[in-house]
Amino acid sequence: MSSLADMLGASRPAVWLEVAPPRGANPAPLLKRLEAFAGHVDAINLTDNALGRVKMSGLVFASFIKARLGIPVVLNFSCRHRNRYALKSDLLGAAALGIDGIVAVAGDRVPSEHPEHGALVRDLNPFGLLEMVAALNRGDTGEGRAPLKTLPRLYPGAVANPNREDFDREIGMLERKVRAGAKFVITQPVFQTATVRRFQAQARRLSLHAMLGILPVKRASMADHIKQQVADLSGAREHFDRYAGMSEAEARAFSVRENLALMKSLAGEVAGFNIMSGGGTSLAIELALEFSKWRTHANQ
């Protein structure tokens, strides 16, 4: 538990790379790509069937990363479609594998949620999942039996969105997550220093380590789609307007330059950055390596 806490509490900003597990049953190609990150990123943040698209179990793929690459793993745990017994079993499995961090998320909406696919399981929300992690860390499985002989060492985190128009409500939910046991928070993507600093002031008040979400944008059409379709990022519409009329090469270069400048300006104020691969894995890789090189030189 202390290793991730030490990483997030260090003066050097942490760099995590958000990765979706493989779509099929072969982990080798993605593991090969991730080999290049040993020594450049501090952890891999694995998503859990993001956007409702089926991928390999994050728990299974995390075990490959730990065993073959030795890179720390922060694993998203979705409440959607897992009952409390499945969640407890998977959390104990994560503890046995030495997974470095657990992120409690509600889970993205699944497009195929229709009656013919069976009842939707909603045993817990993220607050309940964080409380479950805290109970397991105490050895309490919630079954009224003797405590576990070997205590898990699960380091719990949550998610938040600094861009929400109702900022006070977002912070209220974050306070509830802290009371439930969250020690760190991964944010939705941020694009403006003012937005970050307003959020970081609240995270500091709550003694939370904040990992800022960084989303590279690969083309103008992606920026327009986010602006039109992603209500959670409505507060960042002016940023996405700046991509209008750019070629893909121009958009990629602009995105790397802007995100790198944002990360550099905030490097001494937050725990670190979680670089998202929604704009393409290669673009996320490029940005992660660029910041890693800058961070190395800055600390010399």
In this prediction, what percent of the chain has a pLDDT beyond 70? 92
Q: Report pLDDT digits (tens) over 12-34.
A: 999 999 999 998 999 999 999 89
How do the residues of the chain divide into helix, strand and coil, expressed in percent and rounded to 5? 50, 15, 35
Q: What average pLDDT score do residues 155-171 get?
A: 95
pLDDT exceeds 80 at position 211? yes
The CATH number that domain 2-295 falls under is 3.20.20.220
Place of tokens 């499985």: 141
Question: Is 99:30 a contact under the CB 8 Å cutoff?
Answer: no
Helices (H), the chain: 2-9, 28-34, 58-64, 84-97, 126-137, 167-180, 193-205, 220-229, 237-241, 248-266, 281-298
Give Cα 39 distance to the centre of its chain.
19
Q: Is 241 exposed, middle or buried (0-12, 13-18, 19+ CB in 10 A)?
A: exposed
pTM, 2 dp: 0.92
Give Cα 68 distance to the centre of its chain.
22
Query: Please, which residues have CB within 8 angstroms of residue 26's CB and are 6 or more apart in sequence?
Result: none
Amino acid 1: pLDDT: 47
Please tell me the least confidently modeled range out of 95-99, 122-126, 207-211, 257-261: 122-126
User: CA 212 to CA 202: how far, in whole Å?
Assistant: 14
Q: Give the torsion through C-alpha atoms of 115, 59, 75, 127, to 10 deg.
A: 50
Choose among 152, 175, 6: nearest CA to 92: 152
Amino acid 280: pLDDT: 75
Residue bearing the bigger pLDDT, 198 or 82: 198
Choose among 185, 193, 190: nearest CA to 271: 185
Q: At what angle do helices 193-205 and 248-266 cross, to 10 degrees?
A: 40
User: CA 81 to CA 112: how far, in whole Å?
Assistant: 12
Q: How far is CA 182 from CA 154, 165, 166, 169, 219, in A?
A: 11, 23, 21, 17, 35
Residue 128: HSE in the Cβ half-sphere, 13 Å Cα cutoff? 15
pLDDT exceeds 60 at position 199? yes
pLDDT exceeds 80 at position 48? yes
Q: What average pLDDT score do residues 181-192 get?
A: 96
pLDDT exceeds 90 at position 107? no
